[in-house]
Amino acid sequence: MAKNSRHVVPGQAGGWSVRKSGATRASKTFGTQQDAIIYGKTLAQKDKSDVYVHGKSGMIREHMSYKK
């Protein structure tokens, strides 16, 4: 996983967070996973990187690449 890739993960206080790979703090937190995915995709497209969507268990369930 590249250092500038984004991860959509369950938030610590509920909701869903978008984090950069290796970061301990979230870039932004959302009420729904879908809103977090949209934000993560936007950042990944801008950075030409990847988005990893995690389920509630923390396992990666989807990967999208915007490296082109």
What residue segments make up the domains of the chain, in order of their start?
Answer: 6-65
Contacts of 67 (CB under 8 A, 6+ apart): 48, 49, 50
How many angstroms from the chain centroid is the CA of residue 11? 11
pTM over 0.85: yes
pLDDT tens digit sequence for 18-61: 999 999 899 999 999 999 999 999 999 999 999 999 999 999 99
Using the predicted structure, report yes or no on whether residue 15 has a pLDDT greater than 80. Answer: yes
Contact between 61 and 22 (Cβ < 8 Å):
no
Q: How far apart are CA 40 and CA 50, in angstroms?
A: 9
In a 3-state reduction of DSSP, which class is residue 45?
helix
